[in-house]
Amino acid sequence: MPYKNPEDKRRWEREHRERRNAQRRMRQLGGKAGPIAPCPVPDPVSDQRRKGGWKEIIGVAIGFGVVLLAALGGVPLPASDPLTPSPSASD
């Protein structure tokens, strides 16, 4: 309020302080409860990530199955020591 007399301004502010403080409280409470932006902008980095991990789970399951079949089928594993000759090389 543009008062020419500073005393009138102070008096008006004293008389209306409670109403102004209540309005400020309502604005602060209302602003915190609602979203800042109605439609948030999607993050371009998160769009590049994969949505699900089912392909990785299937890949691990297939890999485990192949190893299990090889172990049950009697497939010989390569020698762990490269200096030791394998049994087929000594024939």
In a domain, 7, yes or no: yes
Better-predicted residue by pLDDT, 47 or 76:
76
What is the spatial distance between Cα 76 and Cα 44, in angstroms, rounded to a whole number?
Answer: 49
Instruction: Report yes or no: 79 and 86 within 8 Å, Cβ to Cβ.
Output: yes
In a domain, 19, yes or no: yes
What is the spatial distance between Cα 91 and Cα 71, in angstroms, rounded to a whole number?
Answer: 25
In a domain, 91, yes or no: no
> Could you give the number of structural domains in the chain?
1
Q: What is the DSSP string of 23-60?
A: HHHHHHHHHHHS-SSSSPPPPHHHHHS-S--HHHHHHH
Host domain of residue 16: 1-33
In a domain, 84, yes or no: no
Dig out the tokens for 84 from the structure.
């030791």
Report pLDDT digits (tens) over 11-54.
988 999 999 899 888 887 765 555 555 676 677 666 565 666 88
